[in-house]
Amino acid sequence: MIQDIGPSRLNNSYVTRLPAIADAVLLFDDSGRLLARVREGVLCFPSVKEVPADGAIYLFSVDETGYFLAEKDRNEPVPGFEFFTIRELRDTGAGKELFAAFTAWHLWRWYRDNRFCGRCGGLSGMHASERALQCGVCGHIVYPRINPAVIVGVTKGDCLLITRYRRGYANNALVAGFTEIGETLEQTVAREVMEETGIRVKNIRYYKSQPWGMAQDLLAGFFCDAEGDAAIRMDENELKYAQWVPRKEIVLQPNNLSLTNEMMMVFRDGLV
């Protein structure tokens, strides 16, 4: 999955750190495209040596390399680099740079969306000792937004419920959805499966989690069993496809980045 970058390691501890020459500077334009270079499947970002880093915000490090967010969005390219959407970068393949891009985009959106206080409208600034934004007028503190969501592998004997979204990502997927106020994750599983496919489920069991910066999510994967006749009544506003697919006929996504793809793979291969 995208976060599996071993032996490299993400260090997201909040520290005061100045950029070094070899550190990466992450420059977004005002539409959220990230400045990068992709050559022969290798993704890289401008270094402090190549672009100014005055006022850049330290985000995290991967091994010894620090990643800094440019203070202001930039629409002009840098020689040798071009702007990519996060979805375009996703197609370049896995690796620590792609995980860094997803995580940086998550933080860029949070900084961008909280420049002004949601309580009084005052200007927010960096908190002195933790990753937070604090209003300079009323002192209100905001922490990075993380959306809990579930990925659900619904099984019926030797078949898995495969879906495809009505809009957006076009490849095979599983039932998924965001947790609502007052819900447990298990309740989210049951509700989302019922809403999207009309199927009741039982024996809900946790599998694994994944940070997914593309949607500011923390994904929790669950497997569960269909209950009753398991007839599919698909919500056509959400999905364009929902079918019971035998284990050996499951077609995976084109890369190994997502928790969804891993869950489809482990069921296909009889590992769950």
The enclosing domain of 254 has a CATH number of 3.90.79.10
Residues 243-260 as b or e (16 or more Cβ within 10 Å = b): ebbeeeebeebeeebbbb
The total domain count for the chain is 3
Residue at 30 is within a domain: yes
Residue count of the chain: 272
Q: What tokens does 201 get?
A: 């489920």
How far is 226 from 231, CA to CA, in rounded Å?
9
Q: What tokens does 160 get?
A: 């898995």
Q: What is the pLDDT of residues 32-77, one digit of tens each?
A: 999 999 987 789 999 999 998 888 999 999 999 999 999 887 778 7
50 and 106 inside one domain: yes
258 and 219 inside one domain: yes
**Which pLDDT value is given to residue 37?**
94
φ and ψ at residue 41, rounded to 5 degrees: 80, 5
Computed over every residue of the chain, the mean pLDDT equals: 94
Domain hosting residue 67, numbered range: 10-113
**Which pLDDT value is given to residue 169?**
84
Residue at 240 is within a domain: yes
207 and 233 inside one domain: yes
C-alpha to C-alpha distances, 224 to 186, 213, 237, 264, 269, nearest whole angstrom: 10, 26, 24, 13, 17
Q: What is the pLDDT of residues 77-90, one digit of tens each?
A: 789 999 999 999 98
**Which pLDDT value is given to residue 192?**
98
259 and 151 inside one domain: yes
69 and 29 inside one domain: yes
Q: Is 154 helix (H, G, I), strand (E, B) or coil?
A: strand
Highest average pLDDT, of 71-80, 101-110, 162-171, comes from 101-110
Residue at 5 is within a domain: no
The enclosing domain of 75 has a CATH number of 3.90.79
Q: What is the pLDDT of residues 127-149, one digit of tens each?
A: 989 999 999 999 999 999 999 99
84 and 108 inside one domain: yes
